[in-house]
Amino acid sequence: MYKLKYIYAAISVAILLLSSCSESTTPTKEGTYYGPKVAIGNGIAQSWVMLDKDGNALSIGLNIDEAALENLPTDMKEFLLALPSEASSTPFNHISVDWNPLGHEPPGIYDVPHFDFHFYMISMDDRMKITVQGDDTLKVYKQPPAGYMPDGYVLPPGTGVPMMGAHAFDVTSPELNGGKFTETFIYGFYDGMMVFAEPMVTVEYLKTKPNINKDLKLPQKYPTSKNYPKKYSIKYYESTKTYSISLDAMYYVL
């Protein structure tokens, strides 16, 4: 009996040691990882991705200093943000911060100073191929197959932009129904497939130091099997004098 007790005790100790070793040799990937800093105005912008312990993306976004709203260019300017390599579980390739000092079309709606934050699902090389000229217009305005565009969104003619694609709008957005443009969310398409997700935010609204987290209208289908967002956020953090624009509540799509 004593010998059996000794054997059981030894086995228990061995199991505990194996369990401990297994846990210690499998480091967690949980955390927030950052891309390179890019100068904007008097401040900087920086991309980031937040992962769970298994390395799956939970949120992806960028931080932009409050000082970045000062000394901005007087003409339209694109600032490119590379993503950290840890963002590979998302469909996104890079982020562009497009500064529009006079806004853009359509007049009376988006013609106020604002940022377009493009989360691109295609590379810069692929973006260069989008010309919105000649035969390329057929790809730019090709309607997505059923299920690939969220309900309530439309892809109107005339919204194609070189190096971007066509812009799909939520017809229920306040600014398209007599309201004021503060922030909105747009999807971009090319050759019938989604190529970017785009929060648009006015400078005036950013200066109110917002703290919003909104549900996205989602398609039923996506172009690739990755982690896609269900929500988006625009937040100001007083402690760091920083704005955060992010795509959140990410989930895996087959």
> Do 198 and 184 meet the contact criterion of CB atoms below 8 Å apart?
no
Rounded to an integer, what distance in angstroms lies between the CA atom of residue 61 and that of residue 140?
26
Question: Both ends of the chain: CA-CA distance in Å?
Answer: 55
Query: What pTM does this model have?
Result: 0.89
Cβ of 151: how many Cβ atoms within 10 Å?
10
How does pLDDT run along the chain (254 residues), one tens digit per residue? 444 444 444 434 343 433 444 444 668 899 999 999 999 999 999 999 999 999 999 999 999 999 999 999 999 999 999 999 999 999 999 999 999 999 998 999 999 999 999 999 999 999 999 999 999 999 999 999 999 999 999 999 999 999 999 999 999 999 999 999 999 999 999 999 999 999 999 999 999 999 999 999 999 999 999 999 999 999 999 999 999 999 999 999 98
pLDDT score, position 26: 66
Domain boundaries, the chain: 29-252
pLDDT score, position 27: 82
Q: DSSP assignment of 58-71, as one string?
A: EEEEEEEEGGGGSS
pLDDT score, position 25: 62
Cβ of 14: how many Cβ atoms within 10 Å?
10
Rounded to an integer, what distance in angstroms lies between the CA atom of residue 37 and that of residue 33?
12
